[in-house]
Amino acid sequence: MQGRVDITRNFDGAELNTEYIFGLFTDPNAVSLIGIPTSYEITEFVAYDRIAAATTVVTYNATTFQRIVPVTIDTFIAWNDEGKVWQYDATFRWFGYLLDTLLTAAASDINATSPGQAREYTAKILAESICRTHQNHCTDENQQYDNSEACFHFLTQTTRFGKAHELGQNTLLCRSVHEQMVQWRPHVHCPHIGPSGGGMCTDDQTYAAVVQQKHFTNTPFVQYKAY
């Protein structure tokens, strides 16, 4: 199984995709940007053979920000002969606008006088949560930081907060995404929230490389038909 999400990275393998698709948005108590889905509406849909394209407006309860937010997700999905999802390509439309909206909400909650204050406030909340997760689950050979103080310093002072398109780069936002998976497979996901980024939160991509990458080489999302 192959997957790609525009604001993060590529996800290969059934186990990894199962974790992120079904595990990332399930804990109402987790500290995250958009929280958990509560409802959805498919606004556009077309299908041919084994490929379907859809636009879905998903309503999320962003519990960290105490806000209800709609998120538009565009997807292409292909199924194999067994009726199982084989590959998908997903885009979170207007995610930059959403991130700005959430930071504005945070600014309102703390009576911030500048955008920087809201970002620092949000960074503190996200970093504290990641460091708690690290302390609880990343032990022994999975340990990434010497202690919680080193963890917090790295996440708030050494690495950058991140822009809306950088949830797959060396940012705090990227590590916040992967934090949700640490408890399930620490040996796989602890490096993702650590200083190295574990190959998921690293600055090893360029804009041109991302755009031109041929990820779905086995079965392109194009149905050819002879006329």
> Helices in 78-154 by DSSP H: which ranges?
95-109, 115-137, 148-153
Helix (H, G, I), strand (E, B) or coil at 142: helix
Q: What per-residue confidence (pLDDT) applies to 89?
A: 95
Q: What per-residue confidence (pLDDT) applies to 150?
A: 98
The dihedral over CA atoms of 24, 30, 165, 204, expressed in degrees to the nearest 10, equals: -80
Rounded Cα–Cα distance for residues 52 and 37 (Å): 21
Helix (H, G, I), strand (E, B) or coil at 175: helix
Domain-by-domain residue ranges, the chain?
Answer: 2-212
- Token duo for residue 106: 């945070």
Q: What is the pLDDT along the chain (227 residues), one digit of tens a residue?
A: 899 999 999 988 888 888 888 878 888 888 888 889 999 999 999 998 889 999 999 999 998 888 999 999 999 999 988 998 999 999 999 999 999 999 998 888 888 877 788 899 999 999 999 999 999 999 999 999 999 999 999 999 999 999 999 999 999 999 999 998 999 899 999 999 999 999 999 999 899 998 988 888 777 787 665 44
Maximal CA-CA distance, the chain: 65
The CATH code belonging to domain 2-212 is 3.10.450.50
* pTM of the shown model: 0.91
Q: What per-residue confidence (pLDDT) applies to 227?
A: 44
Length of the chain: 227
Q: What per-residue confidence (pLDDT) applies to 224?
A: 62
Return the H-helix or E-strand segment holding 74.
strand 67-79
3-state secondary structure 15-40: HHHHHHHHHCCCCCCCCCCCCEEEEE
